[in-house]
Amino acid sequence: MTPSVRRHDREFDLILWGATGFTGQLVARHLAENYDWDVLRWAIGGRDEVKLAAVREGLGAPDLPVVLGDAHDQDKMAALAKRTRVVCSTVGPYARYGSELVAACVRAGTGYCDLTGEAHWIRRMLDAHNAQAVETGARIVPTCGFDSIPSDLGVYFLQREMQSRHGAPGPRIKGGVARLNGKASGGTVASMLNLLEEAGNDRSVRRILVNPYSLNPEGKRNGPDGRDRMSPSYDDDFRKWTAPFIMAGINTRIVRRSAALMPDLYGPDFSYQESMLTGRGVGGALKATAVSGVMAAALGALSIGPIRRLIAPRLPQPGEGPTPEEQKNGNWEMRFLGGSSGARVTGDMDPGYGSTSKMLAESAVCLALDQLTVGGGFHTPASAMGNILIERLQKNAGVTFEVIE
Ligand SMILES: NC(=O)c1ccc[n+]([C@@H]2O[C@H](COP(=O)([O-])OP(=O)(O)OC[C@H]3O[C@@H](n4cnc5c(N)ncnc54)[C@H](OP(=O)(O)O)[C@@H]3O)[C@@H](O)[C@H]2O)c1
């Protein structure tokens, strides 16, 4: 692993913003259990002093510093960003609560990572702040959870492998979700409902969501991939039936942005598609049809305002999520195929929370402590941290990356 660097140009290496939330508390626990103060100088942050004190007590870390503020308070966000080398944010929906903090990190040259899967918001932030982030050196890295680290680093890992084996990258990679055991939290439900509401009210948001290259740099928003598939189909390469995968909408955009930011590694005319693998034979076909139908029906119903408002109170609420037991018993596996080579990426806990919190925490530590070669700007996990993060995730986050023949 690239040696870690210690710098004392800021009061903290890392502020965990949103430490009182469902995911924030899991990230806090991972940091407290794995990093002593002499390795990582970190603080927890949020809007509620009493809740933050309870988190600190729960961690058994009474001296852990606390940073207070409201996400919409620009002065507080500016002050917070200046105190730390990196902010790790779990305050979402990000389109509702995240914009002031990203702007503050960009201005202060502070690293930033989060768990957003909201493509329209990433695009909004990118358009508004990328040029300044390049100037100030702020590395801004959204999507450091289950969306989109396994897809982004899985494809990156396979491309590196193909370069070293065959001297050339795979021009056409397919990703498939082979196993997924886990549940959604109230925060994730809130983000999805917020996204559907914004899409319902604003055509420009809908246009961003359906564009397969919406997160690519300007001038690179064309390529061989079309819109996301919404129906079941048989895949000749996986030799399995496939259904649409709900997170492919963000994962494919992030992978394509990585390809655009690293053309030497991914090659020209790179193509990436992602789906859920449902199995072989009649059983696989039936499952693919059922998954596609349920997804289309749920998205269709939740896109209608009155139905969404009727169903929302019955879904998990902010602060709620899977139990520790459910997180421990969960797991996931994704596969990637590119011609004759393939890769498998697995996680040892439920994707959305157990695994996500470890992936986000390690991304933040990587941004804060590791010697990264890239400069400022809006990155993907692969373009910012690549192999260094793969090593960290394998060592500290229960994630495996392996080549399959
Ligand atoms: N990418 C992935 O795989 C993945 C996985 C899990 C979650 N997520 C995303 O992560 C986000 C958090 O999810 P969650 O389930 O942890 O949500 P949650 O439990 O509702 O937590 C939200 C956090 O935001 C804080 N907050 C809300 N409004 C604020 C404000 N105005 N100022 C400061 N803090 C504020 C809350 O503070 P209080 O405690 O004071 O209310 C809480 O700490 C969501 O956007 C979700 O979609 C993504």
Among 15, 16, 17, 23, say which to mutate for ligand 1: greatest number of ligand atoms within 8 Å of CB.
23
Concatenate the DSSP letters of all residues of 325-384 into one string. HHHHH-EEEEEEEETTEEEEEEESS-IIIIIHHHHHHHHHHHHHHB-----SEE--HHHH
Tokens of 61: 């870390």
Check residue 109 and report its DSSP letter: T
**In terms of pLDDT, which residue wins out, 193 or 369?**
369
pLDDT at 2 over 60: no
Ligand 1: which atom is nearest the Cα of residue 190? 47
**90/202 same-domain check:** no
CA distances in angstroms from 97 to 46, 76, 77, 222, 309, listed in the order given: 12, 13, 11, 31, 21
pLDDT at 4 over 70: no
CA distances in angstroms from 151 to 250, 266, 311, listed in the order given: 10, 14, 31
**178/313 same-domain check:** yes
Residue 366: Cβ within 10 Å count? 28
**186/83 same-domain check:** no
Mean pLDDT, to the nearest integer, of 40-54?
97
Q: Which residues of 8-42 are buried (b: 16+ CB within 10 A; e: fewer)?
A: eebebbbbbbbbbbbbbbbbbbbbbeebeeeebbb
**326/372 same-domain check:** no
**In terms of pLDDT, which residue wins out, 141 or 165?**
141
The count of residues in the chain is 405
Nearest CA to ligand 1 atom 13: 187
Lowest mean pLDDT segment, chosen from 130-134, 306-310, 341-345:
306-310
Asked if residue 4 is part of any domain, the answer here is no
Residue type, 198: E
What are residue 277's phi and psi, to 5 degrees?
-85, 125
Asked if residue 6 is part of any domain, the answer here is no
pLDDT at 7: 57
Nearest CA to ligand 1 atom 35: 91
Output the CA 231–ligand 1 centroid distance in Å: 32
**139/31 same-domain check:** yes
**256/298 same-domain check:** yes
Output the CA 38–ligand 1 centroid distance in Å: 28
Residue 216: Cβ within 10 Å count? 21
Ligand 1: which atom is nearest the Cα of residue 186? 15
CA 104 – CA 75 distance, rounded (Å): 9
Number of H helices, E strands in the chain: 16, 14
**258/292 same-domain check:** yes
Counting residues of the chain whose pLDDT is more than 90, the rounded percentage is 82
Tokens of 86: 């990196």
**Interval 73-120: pLDDT, tens:** 999 999 999 999 999 999 999 999 999 999 999 999 999 999 999 999
Output the CA 177–ligand 1 centroid distance in Å: 25
**119/221 same-domain check:** no
Counting residues of the chain whose pLDDT is more than 70, the rounded percentage is 98
Mean pLDDT, to the nearest integer, of 302-330?
87
**230/295 same-domain check:** yes
Residue 50 structural domain: 12-145+354-404
Ligand 1: which atom is nearest the Cα of residue 188? 47
**105/157 same-domain check:** no
- How many domains are there within the chain? 2
Asked if residue 400 is part of any domain, the answer here is yes
**192/229 same-domain check:** yes
Mean pLDDT, to the nearest integer, of 360-380?
97
CATH at 26: 3.40.50.720
For the Cβ of 316 lying below 6 angstroms from any atom of ligand 1, the answer is no
**141/155 same-domain check:** no
Q: Full-prediction pTM beyond 0.85?
A: yes
Residue type, 397: A
